[in-house]
């Protein structure tokens, strides 16, 4: 029995370290893990060499409905959902693996990630709470984040139909000009 609890404890510590490295806030750690608050704070200090940040978590589903945030949220949630359902990952493992894949995808495309881990975790909570759902796009067939109680209809995702001002000049520079050029070796 003692070995089982030590192994489970080691798994919890490994999950905590993974979440901390990805930028999880204390509220996320306390909600998802069975470790004590004091132990999580000590782990956070050891991993990040600083105290955990304080402050409120995002609390509005409206943030995910802006066109860029919706594209990023849809990418993350589809990845998370696949890992959880098809990959048979636990919630926490699907969250960490899905977020890593999301960040890798952004890095590969030379785009700045719109979601931090806390926003990704909050997105999953909105889905679990019945506030958001994946809606099919009538043009591409992909599934994107939408409100659960929107009227059913033929919706189009933000990739197929970006807003008219998307990609226009912003404050004298091109919107995508700040992205670093890929490095060639």
Which residues lie below 8 Å from residue 126, measured CB to CB, with a gap of 6+?
Answer: 61, 64, 132
Distances from the Cα of 115 to the Cα of 88, 122, 145, 160, 172, angstroms: 24, 10, 14, 21, 26
Distance CA 77, CA 72 (A): 9
Q: Is 140 annotated as a binding residue?
A: yes
Residue 167, CA distances (Å) to 47, 73, 142, 176 in order: 38, 19, 22, 7
Any binding-site annotation on 88?
A: no
For residue 110, say whether it is annotated as part of any ligand binding site. no
Say what angle helices 91-108 and 2-21 make with each other, to 10 degrees: 30
Q: Which helix (H) or strand (E) covers residue 132, if one does? A: strand 132-136
Q: Are 156 and 139 in contact (CB under 8 A)?
A: yes
Whether residue 29 contacts residue 53, with contact meaning beta carbons closer than 8 Å, is answered with: no
Q: Which segments are annotated as binding site?
A: 137, 140, 157, 160
Q: Which segments are annotated as binding site for Zn(2+)?
A: 137, 140, 157, 160
């Amino acid at each position: 029995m003692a070995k089982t609890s030590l192994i489970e404890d080691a798994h919890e510590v490994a999950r905590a370290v993974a979440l901390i490295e990805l930028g999880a806030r204390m509220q996320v750690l306390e909600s998802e893990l069975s470790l004590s608050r004091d132990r999580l704070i000590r782990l956070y200090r050891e991993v990040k060499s600083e105290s955990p940040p304080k402050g409120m978590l995002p609390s509005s589903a409206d943030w995910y409905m802006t066109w860029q945030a919706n594209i990023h949220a849809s990418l993350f949630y589809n990845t998370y959902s696949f890992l959880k359902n098809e990959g048979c990952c636990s919630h926490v493992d699907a969250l960490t693996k899905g977020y890593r894949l999301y960040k890798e995808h952004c890095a590969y495309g030379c785009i700045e990630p719109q979601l931090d881990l806390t926003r990704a975790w909050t997105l999953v909570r909105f889905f679990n709470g019945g506030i958001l759902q994946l809606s099919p796009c009538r043009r591409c067939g992909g599934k994107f984040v939408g409100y659960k109680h929107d009227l059913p209809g033929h919706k189009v995702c933000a990739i197929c139909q970006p807003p008219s001002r998307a990609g226009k000049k912003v404050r004298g520079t091109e919107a995508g000009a700040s992205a670093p050029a890929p490095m060639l070796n």
